[in-house]
Amino acid sequence: MRKQLQEQIDRIKTAGASYVDVRWYPVEEKEQLMMWNGNLKNASSSRESGLGIRVLYKGAWGFSASSDIGSMNALFDKAFENARIAAERVTFPIRLAEKESLQASFNSPNRIDPFTIPIAEKIEFLKVLDEKLNQPGVFQRVCDLTFMRKQIIYIDSEGSEIEKNIIEVFPTIRVLGLDPQGEAHTRRFSPSVSGLTRGWETLDLQSFSENAERIVRELNQVLVADDCPKDERSVILLPGIMFLQTHETIGHALELDRILGYELAYAGGSFVKLNDFGNLRYGSTRLTARADATVPNSPGSVGYDDDGISAQDNLLIDKGILVGAITGRQMVEEANARAHRQIFSGSSGANRATSFYRVPIERMTNINIDPGTDGSLDDIVKNTEKGIILDGEKSWSIGSNREQFHFATDIGWLVEDGQVLGVVKNSTYKGETLKFYNSLSMVGDQSTWEMRYVENCGKGQPNQIMQLGHGIPICRFDNVKIGE
């Protein structure tokens, strides 16, 4: 099969294409299990395979994809024909940044393939968790398991051939209760991950049991709590909400296709301009953020992107100054040309597609914030005169260019004079992105840093769902409006 693909690439290149690549998925499968109040409500699986082909001709892309690989000539010809038609209408001829030719492979780290585990064992795992959640105050309880496995063979006309074998595990438990006014409240748990593996063995029953007890206890505290006050306070964001803050106002805002105006779906474009790189103070000197696809244990680490670029640790914000973006081979060349200077020296290896039937676009890898030196949560609380601790993503609203935001969280704890007073419900906070990050006053140390998985990041039209991670510490921001 690989020989046939290379022959087709050579044929289309000889016909006049400047570049050709193909992504062959011999297998891509997904399994989902959901238990709701002790009943197995979903047990589904899907499996597909196919080819996705890109052809570059006279500065324009052509693409074709199919699960039918029996008519390979026609499939490659279709991509070439699409490129020739597009070339008649191209306004900014596409150029690709230089890259090295690679013969490589990547296997996501795991000891036990979850697809080898009998479904009865998986259901039993859910039953145990459900029993832990079945406590007073819990009106609804849900346990989810999602498993993904894919094999990807990438070959291009520049001599690269890369094989990737990816396995992902996404577990979640959540409980819902009703307060005296009949309003619903939720607490959930998705484990942060450490170590060098992400297979079935990461489903630690003891950890899940301990956190099941915790979220039930916190839910019951929320149900009888007072509403979050309308106030201006320091907000202390735990990783359970800090990951989403990072995702929406750093990650999506720094996707280069969005900055160039190509990506306007899912809360629009970006407030960032090309002349901001190297100049814009994005946050305080305590803020250092990076797109790190070299983290060993995260779905944002896939070894190589869909341009055939190896994983990189790419600095985005250096001590508050904007220095980088989430980039692929095409967009960096256009950005440099538009800016009339070299902003980017090459791709950061972040061009990815959700499957063989979608074209690669700039996607987050692992958008992380470096830990600081301000100690633990207790240390941060002790140094907070008037604040609120927030956790859990309840809802979020983003400005059309991510210049502002409004988040609601599952739970809040008021802080006065260095002491935690108690729980509040319906906790919210809002701000202007740059003003907010410039108010970053404390960043927790390495002990507070957690890797949080994102299973369902949406982008593009047609929509592409991607998996990634965020490594974040506890962070404190000052003078933030809450409760509105």
Q: Where is average pLDDT lowest: 329-338, 425-434, 453-462?
A: 453-462
- In this prediction, residue 193 has a pLDDT band, given cuts at 50, 70 and 90, of confident
What integer pLDDT is reported at residue 324 of this predicted model? 98
Q: Is the pLDDT assigned to residue 409 strictly greater than 80? A: yes
Q: What pLDDT, on a 0 to 100 scale, did the predictor assign at position 345?
A: 95
Q: Is 258's pLDDT higher than 90?
A: yes
Task: Please tell me the pTM assigned to this model.
Answer: 0.96
pLDDT band (50, 70, 90) for residue 424: very high
pLDDT score recorded for residue 198: 85
Percent of the chain, pLDDT > 90? 95
Mean pLDDT check: name the lowest of 68-72, 179-183, 235-239: 68-72
Rounded CA-CA distance 325/314 in Å is 8
Residue 264, pLDDT above cutoff 90: no
Q: In the chain, what percentage of residues exceed pLDDT 70? A: 100
- Mean pLDDT confidence for 111-115: 95
- CATH architecture assignment, domain 2-224: 2-Layer Sandwich (3.30)
Give 130-161 pLDDT, tens digit per residue.
999 999 999 999 999 999 999 999 999 999 99
Domain boundaries, the chain: 2-224, 227-482
Task: State pLDDT tens for residues 318-377.
Answer: 999 999 999 999 999 999 999 999 999 999 999 999 999 999 999 999 999 999 999 999
According to the model, what pLDDT value does residue 86 have? 97
pLDDT digits (tens, 9 = 90+) for 66-108: 999 888 999 999 999 999 999 999 999 999 999 999 999 999 9
197 — pLDDT class (breaks 50, 70, 90) = confident
Calculate the average pLDDT of the chain: 96
Residue 194 has pLDDT above 90, yes or no: no
Band of residue 181 on the pLDDT scale cut at 50, 70, 90: very high
- pLDDT bin (cut points 50, 70, 90) of residue 296 is confident
